Structure 1
Amino acid sequence: MRIHHEHPWNLDSKAAIALQNQLRRLVKIEDELPADIRRVAGVDVGFEDEGKVTRAAVAVLDYPGLGLIESSIARLPTVFPYVPGLLSFREVPAILKALAGLAVLPDLLLVDGQGYAHPRRLGIACHLGLLTDLPSIGVGKTRLCGRHEEVPDEKGRWVPLVDKQEIIGAVLRTRRGVQPIYVSAGHRIGLETAVEWVLRCTGRFRLPETTRQAHRLASGWVSGAGPAPGP
C-alpha cells in the first residue's frame, strides 16, 4: 500500500494543528468513487494495557451482501496523547499498519470518527483518506462540532450539520427510536453520496454493519465469544 502525503507523527499539538491546516486543502469532498464497489471496510480503534497499546481493526465486507470477507488487526505503542480534534495522530499509524495487512485493499472506508465535520475540516476519515487515497466516510457516534435541527424519527431522514455557516456533515437517522449518527465526507466522496453509502451498509442496528464488525475486532470480540455489541 502506497502512502500519499507522508509526514512525521512525532509532533506536538501545535505542530499537529498546523499540519491539519495544510492537509485540509488537499481533501476532496466530491465523488471520485470506483465504478464498481465490491469491498466496503469498517475501521475502528481500541486500546489495550490501560491505553499504552493502540489496537486498530479493519473489517472488510462484501457489497451488497455485507458479509465479512477479510479482517486485519494491528497493534502499536500509543505515542500521541488524547487531544480532542487530533484523534488521527493518535490512531492512524496503527490503522495504516492494519490496512497493510490486508490481501486486497477495500474500495471504500467507513471510519469510526469524524471526517469533514471537524473544527479544521480534517477529521480522522479525511486524514486517513488522504494518506491512502481511498474514498472514505466519517461515521461518528457523537458530535464534535456544529449545530443542527431535530432529525425526524424515520429511517433515512437527515438534517444538515452546520458550522460557521457551512454544511459540514449530516445528522442521520438510521433507525427509528434511537439516536442519530453523524456522517461526513472523508475524501473522494460528497456528503449526499456518503449518506447513501452509510444507509446501504446499515441493517437493523443503529450503526453500519461495517462499523459493528470493526468494533468487534477493535474491542477484542472474537467469533464464538458472544454476540456482537448492540445498537
Structure 2
Amino acid sequence: MMPALHPHDWNVTPQEAVAIQERMRHLVETADRLPQIYRVAGVDACFDADSQIVRAAAIVLSFPDLKLMDHAVAQRAVKFPYVSGLFAFRELPAVLDALGRLHKSPDIIICDGHGIAHPRRFGIASHLGVLLGQPTIGVGKTLLVGHHIELPREKGSWVSLDDGNEVIGAVLRTQTGVKPVYVSIGHRIALQTAVRLVLACTTRYRLPETTREAHRLASGKPRLYSLDPPPSNG
C-alpha cells in the first residue's frame, strides 16, 4: 500500500466514516498544485457477484499520447456496508493496494467516482488525493448531488454543476450526442484544469482512457491495450 499522509482506520462504522469525511474534507485543495504532467493514472474498483470481494485496478498512461506504461490489480474482502456517499470505505483499501504495486508513479490520478461533487464535499477522488497528497480528479458516470442547466450536444461543451449557490463540478460532454460525465475537483487541481485534462484523456469514447481501461482491468473484461508485465526495475 502507498504511504498515506493522513491515515485513518478503515474498520469503522458508517457513523464513524461520516465523521472521518467531515474531518478530512477541510484538507481538500481546490487550486492547481500540479507537477508537469507526464504520467496520468486511472483507478476503478469492481465487486464479485456477492459483493464479498472488491477488485481494484490502477493503470498508468503517458501524457499526452496516452500510451500504456504500467498497470496493477489488487483485491480484498469487502468489510464495509453499501452506503451511498461512503463508497470510499468499500473501495479505497484495494485501490491503495493496486497503486502501491505500480512501478511508475503517476503525476495525477483520475478516479471513477466523485470528488467534491458529494454531499459532504469529500467523495472517493478527494479522499484518495488527501490521503496521498496527490492531485486527483473525480469523473462520475451518474449524478450524485447537484443540478445544472441544459448542456449543449457538442463534444467539449460543459456547464457548471451547482448545489445551491456553490459550484461543485462540471457536467462535461466528452462526445457529441452522448450522455455527459460529471467532473469534479479531487485534490490540488482547479475545476477548469480538471475539465481540460479529462478531455485530453478522452479519445473515441464517453469515458477517459484512464478510468475506462482501469474498469476493464478491474472487471476482468478483455483488455484494449497490450498489457505485458511491467519491468521489475521500474
TM-score > 0.5 by shorter chain = yes
Match of 2:182 in 1: 182
Match of 1:112 in 2: 112
> Residue 131 of structure 2: SS of its match in structure 1?
helix
Cα–Cα, structure 1 residues 75 and 131, in superposed 2: closer, same or farther, change >3 Å?
A: same
Shift of 1:224: 8.1
Match of 1:5 in 2: 6
Shift of 1:79: 0.5
Cα–Cα, structure 1 residues 224 and 60, in superposed 2: closer, same or farther, change >3 Å?
A: closer
Aligned length: 224
Q: Does 1:16 align with 2:17?
A: yes
Aligned AA for 1:218? A
Measured against aligned partners, the alpha-carbon deviations of 1:1-23 in whole angstroms (never above 9, x if no partner) come to 32111000111111111111110
Aligned AA for 2:57? A
Match of 2:151 in 1: 151
> Residue 182 of structure 1: SS of its match in structure 2?
strand
Q: Does 1:42 align with 2:42?
A: yes
Correspondences of 1:1-231 after superposition (within 5 Å): 1-34=2-35, 36-223=36-223
> Residue 84 of structure 1: SS of its match in structure 2?
coil
- Distance in 2, Cα, partners of 1:154 & 1:212: 21
- Distance in 2, Cα, partners of 1:49 & 1:104: 31
Identity %: 55
Shift of 1:48: 2.0
- Distance in 2, Cα, partners of 1:125 & 1:196: 17
> Residue 199 of structure 2: SS of its match in structure 1?
helix
Cα–Cα, structure 1 residues 177 and 95, in superposed 2: closer, same or farther, change >3 Å?
A: same
> Residue 89 of structure 2: SS of its match in structure 1?
helix
- Distance in 1, Cα, partners of 2:14 & 2:52: 19
Measured against aligned partners, the alpha-carbon deviations of 1:64-114 in whole angstroms (never above 9, x if no partner) come to 111111100000000001100001011000000001001122101000000
Shift of 1:177: 1.1
- Distance in 1, Cα, partners of 2:16 & 2:165: 27
Measured against aligned partners, the alpha-carbon deviations of 1:111-130 in whole angstroms (never above 9, x if no partner) come to 00000100000000000001
- Distance in 1, Cα, partners of 2:220 & 2:5: 30
Unpaired segments ≥5 residues, structure 1: 226-231
Aligned AA for 1:47? F
Shift of 1:49: 5.0
Measured against aligned partners, the alpha-carbon deviations of 1:151-181 in whole angstroms (never above 9, x if no partner) come to 1011111011001210000000001111000
- Distance in 1, Cα, partners of 2:158 & 2:173: 6
Match of 1:229 in 2: none
Measured against aligned partners, the alpha-carbon deviations of 1:192-223 in whole angstroms (never above 9, x if no partner) come to 10000000000011110111110110110244
> Residue 171 of structure 1: SS of its match in structure 2?
strand
Match of 2:232 in 1: none
Shift of 1:51: 1.1
Aligned AA for 1:6? P
Contact kept, 8 Å, 2:161 with 2:168, in 1: the verdict is yes
Moved over 6 A (4+): none
> Residue 192 of structure 2: SS of its match in structure 1?
helix
> Residue 74 of structure 1: SS of its match in structure 2?
strand
- Distance in 2, Cα, partners of 1:202 & 1:45: 20
